[in-house]
Structure formats: C-alpha cells, structure tokens
Chains A and B, each alone.
Chain A
Amino acid sequence: MTPRDIVIVVFILAGCVFMLVSAIGIVRLPDVFARMHAAGKASTVGVSGLLLAAGLYFYDEFLMLRMLALIALIFATAPIATTAMARAAYRTGPRKRKHLHYDEMAGDGQAPQTHAGERVNDPVG
C-alpha cells in the first residue's frame, strides 16, 4: 500500500465509524434534541471523511475540488436544517420535556405552555 492508500483507508474508516456512532446515538438517546445532536456528527465529520477519501482515490484535482465544494455545501446546509428542525420540534412538539434542563426560548411567545418553562431559573441545570 502506498502512503496515499493508507490516507484513503484512514479517511474511510474514520467516516464510517463516525456515522455508525451517530446512528447508535440516534437510536439510543432519549430526546429529539439529543438525537439531533447525535445526527450532527454524521453530517459533518462522517460524510466529509468519505468524500475526501473519494476525492483522493480518483486522483483528479478537478474532482477533488468538487468534493471540497460538496463538503462546503454540506457544512453550510446542515446547521440550517438542524436549526429549522429544532425550532419546529420546540414549537409544535411533545409536551413532556424531562431532559430539557435549560430552556432559553421559554419567553418565545409561540411556544406551547409546558412545564419546561418552570425549570428556566433552575441554577443547577
């Protein structure tokens, strides 16, 4: 194996392990916000590792430039999508929020009245 092959294999394994850990987190974590936090790992480190491995594998600088542009696109769109999902889940979502210790959007006005608002002054968190 040449050193380039070793770099490709390291990128592939790092990306796959991050995506597997992220999927385990999506199944195991208790809350929709915690699951979003786990999903962010796959959409940043995991997929960028796999795309960098693909760009290195074909040994084409134009293709590598396209892969970097795709990574930049994913890094730009993933926080927007996660923010929209979190806002929708907060405003319309489930009433029971046992795991939401800090609620910075309690004075939002558009949020449904839940018992999460009672815990906003809890200093322990």
Chain B
Amino acid sequence: MTVAFWVNVGLVVLALSLLLCFVRLYLGPNPPNRTVAFDTIAIHAVGIIALIAMASNAPALLDAAVVTAVLGFVGTMMFARYMENSDLKDWEPDEE
C-alpha cells in the first residue's frame, strides 16, 4: 500500500467520474447543462494532470494543470456570454 498504489486508485476513480460527466455532456437537453458538464470536465482534467504528475514523478506537468485551469475558466465564461447574448430561445427544457 504505497503512495503509488493509491495514486492509481485515484486515477481509476477520476476516470469513472469523468465518464459520468461525459454522460451529462451527451444527455444534457440544452446548452446550459452541457456548459456545466464542460466546466466539470475541465476541473477533472486539472485533477487528473495532478495525479499523473505524481504517478510519473514529473513535477513539470503541474504547469500544464495551471494552464488547463485558466483555459477551462475562459471557455466556461465564453459559453456563458454566448448563451446570454444569443437568440436561441427554443431550447429544450430540462426533462423532469
């Protein structure tokens, strides 16, 4: 039960969690739901990069985590601004 074992366990758990986020990205009936899924996928990418940096003993990979966090924020803000100023009013409602 070394640290490397638990890092691999964490990678498996995050892979399952990322799969659930992609389920929402596929199912989400309208663009706001897909934007929520995209934001969570970007956050998952930061966590997975941190775990891979620990698994492969490469601390330089953590710079990629910084860039991914900033790009995820910019992408989410871009989608939010686009949705707010768009004229697409005939989106499907949430299913329940």
Contact = CB atoms under 8 A, between A and B. Distances in A.
B14 A19 contact: yes
Interface residues of B, number: 57
B51 A12 contact: yes
B1 to A, nearest CB: 7
A15 B47 contact: yes
A92 B94 contact: no
A42 B20 CA distance: 13
A88 interface: yes
Please classify the interface of chain A as helix (H, G, I), strand (E, B), loop, or mixed, using the class held by over half of its residues: helix
B3 A8 contact: yes
Given A50-B50, A70-B69, A26 B24 contact: yes
A43 B43 contact: yes
Interface in B28-64: 29-30, 32-33, 35-37, 39-40, 43-44, 46-47, 50-51, 53-54, 59, 62
Interface in A50-82: 50-51, 53-54, 57-58, 60, 63, 66-67, 70, 73-74, 77-78, 80-82
Interface of A: 1, 5, 8-9, 12-13, 15-17, 19-20, 22-24, 26-27, 30-32, 35-36, 39, 42-43, 46-47, 50-51, 53-54, 57-58, 60, 63, 66-67, 70, 73-74, 77-78, 80-82, 84-85, 87-89, 91-96, 98-99, 112
7 contacts: A9-B6, A20-B16, A47-B50, A53-B50, A81-B39, A85-B39, A87-B80
